[in-house]
Amino acid sequence: MTPRFSTMARTGVAAAAILSQAAIVPAQAFCGFYVAQADSKLFNQSSKVVLSRNGEQTAITMASDFEGDVKEFAVVVPVPTFIERKQIGVVEPKTIEHLDKYTAPRLVEYHDDDPCAPVIVAARAMPAAPMMAGDPRLGFKSDYGVTIEASYDVAEYDVLILSAQESDGLTRWLTDNNYRIPEGAEAVLGSYIKQGMRFFVAKVNVERMKGLGTGQLRPLQVRYQSAKFMVPLRLGTVNARGPQDLIIYALTRSGRIEAANYRTVKIPSNIDVPLYVKNEFGPFYKALFERAVARENMQAVFVEYAWDMAWCDPCAADPMSNKELVELGARWIGSDDATAFSAGRRAGGGSEAYVTRLHVRYDAKSFPEDIVFTETKDRSNFQGRYVQRHPWRGEAKCDAAKSYQENLSARFAKEATDLAALTGWSRSEIVARMEQSGEAVAK
């Protein structure tokens, strides 16, 4: 592709967006304080998708980080069944941003107590417009072997539902309709055609977008019923210039989701880190994730968060309201009324929703198949969580305080070793940075 066509349109189905016409406020929780987060903005070439799954009903919301002239935006997404107009909608970007912040890996901090003070144990409760029939384009077929099964106006988008007999015909149809097809796409498109899948094609209607006054492309949502529970990853690898990141937020009724055809791994968590990491949490988590990817040879799907949405500990953002969860496709929730926090815990309205945040770095070689998901009954809680502990600096007035101070240096040494192992950073440089912040490491 020429430089003019180098800008890519990436969507939350990261992979599915193969085509473009141009080619913190700290929140207090039960124990400690949330102080930093590692949201999706850390990762370049990243896309986001929200999946809501209830039985065989799926809603997939595709967030776009497209930059450039909106006239040059287009997306093609394989879908397992015919899509009616009532099954398509748009979602406010801030709703997905909220979910991203809520589930992001986070740093928390604690302050050591005076070792000479009496220990007090506090009890804590745990929460359990379709085309008219006479439209001449509807059902259009030519030597392409492509059928336009439906055409819809959806907010700022013009949407087509296509079916095709052969990949070369679909490729020619897309090319003749001003879509730029990257080399190698035909074989991937053919595999979806053989599965009997349709193609959801969307472009921006600039005039309608101006009339709506949105000022930005809103995420598209498609809802359908199918036994297939997957994300079409492979299309995004066709024109990629290197590995890409995909972050998947899955809302379910039963419990955590995991990949059925790839290894699912929890990101390293609950590890103490030096105090200076507070100001470098973004680079820290990015290095940690890249090292985890390398350890798995870029062939694993990582769990970064899995939690019942009725509560959080600690809360990285205000809890999601029922209204937001319903907007994202969790329509099994009885009411979209926002629910206030309950006493003693930060709780949202989504007591019937469980969220899993998955993060995958992929290319065509490491992920040759689309990711197929399975919903488990596991509702245990997990979060990518990293802890910094401020040492007590008072005068040693008792034996316990003297013992505490003697053990600090060994604690700092372990933090340095663990940080080096997590990130690949030089331990000697870590030790030097720690000493600058008053954490002297035993030699």
* For residue 296, pLDDT beyond 50: yes
DSSP, res 12: T
**φ, ψ dihedrals at 53, nearest 5°:** -130, 125
State pLDDT tens for residues 48-93.
999 999 999 999 999 866 667 777 778 888 999 999 999 999 999 9
**Amino acid symbol at 308:** D
**Rounded Cα–Cα distance for residues 202 and 174 (Å):** 12
**Which residues on neighbouring strands pair with residue 108, listed in sequence order?**
34, 387
**Rounded Cα–Cα distance for residues 166 and 163 (Å):** 9
* For residue 428, pLDDT beyond 90: yes
The tokens describing 140, both together, are 């259009």
Please give the pLDDT value at position 169.
87
**Rounded Cα–Cα distance for residues 161 and 148 (Å):** 6
The tokens describing 407, both together, are 């053990």
The closest alpha carbon to 75, from 59, 60, 62, belongs to 62
| Residue with tokens 């969307």, as numbered in its chain | 202
**Rounded Cα–Cα distance for residues 154 and 74 (Å):** 14
Please state which of the ranges 46-50, 134-138, 263-267 shows the lowest mean pLDDT: 134-138
Please give the pLDDT value at position 120.
55
Q: Is the model more confident about 64 or about 323?
A: 323
**Rounded Cα–Cα distance for residues 323 and 61 (Å):** 15
The tokens describing 410, both together, are 């060994």
Please give the pLDDT value at position 8.
34
**Which residues on neighbouring strands pair with residue 244, listed in sequence order?**
362
> What percent of the chain clears pLDDT 90, i.e. is strictly above it?
51
Q: Mean of the pLDDT values across residues 263-276?
A: 96
CA distances (Å), origin 176, targets 45, 111, 157: 28, 64, 20
Are 43 and 286 a contacting pair, CB within 8 Å? Answer: yes
DSSP, res 276: G
* For residue 248, pLDDT beyond 90: yes
The tokens describing 155, both together, are 């907010």
State pLDDT tens for residues 19-32.
433 333 333 233 33
Q: Mean of the pLDDT values across residues 199-225?
A: 87
Q: Is the model more confident about 213 or about 297?
A: 297
State pLDDT tens for residues 113-125.
998 886 554 444 4
- Confidence band (pLDDT; 50, 70, 90) for 290? very high
CA distances (Å), origin 338, targets 73, 156, 253, 334, 353: 34, 28, 19, 12, 14
> What percent of the chain clears pLDDT 70, i.e. is strictly above it?
77
**Which residues on neighbouring strands pair with residue 73, listed in sequence order?**
20
**Amino acid symbol at 428:** S
* For residue 130, pLDDT beyond 50: no
Q: Mean pLDDT of all residues in the chain?
A: 81
- Confidence band (pLDDT; 50, 70, 90) for 1? very low
**Rounded Cα–Cα distance for residues 112 and 408 (Å):** 11
Please give the pLDDT value at position 47.
86
* DSSP assignments along 336-391, one per residue: ----PPPTTS---S-TT-EEEEEEEEE-TTT--S-EEEEE-S----EE-EEEEEEP
* For residue 405, pLDDT beyond 80: yes
Q: Is the model more confident about 399 or about 274?
A: 274
| Residue with tokens 């929703």, as numbered in its chain | 353
**Rounded Cα–Cα distance for residues 108 and 372 (Å):** 33
State pLDDT tens for residues 177-195.
877 777 778 888 899 999 9
State pLDDT tens for residues 341-367.
443 344 444 458 999 999 999 998 999
- Confidence band (pLDDT; 50, 70, 90) for 174? confident
Are 101 and 38 a contacting pair, CB within 8 Å? Answer: no
| Residue with tokens 């090292």, as numbered in its chain | 291
**How far is the first Cα of the chain from the last one, in angstroms, to the nearest whole number?**
55
**Amino acid symbol at 440:** A
Q: What is the pTM of this model?
A: 0.83
> How many CA atoms does the CB half-sphere of 277 hold within 13 Å?
36
Please state which of the ranges 49-58, 128-137, 143-152 shows the lowest mean pLDDT: 128-137
- Confidence band (pLDDT; 50, 70, 90) for 240? low
* For residue 7, pLDDT beyond 80: no
CA distances (Å), origin 286, targets 41, 138, 240, 283: 11, 48, 20, 5
Please give the pLDDT value at position 123.
44
Go through the chain and tell me how many residues it has: 443
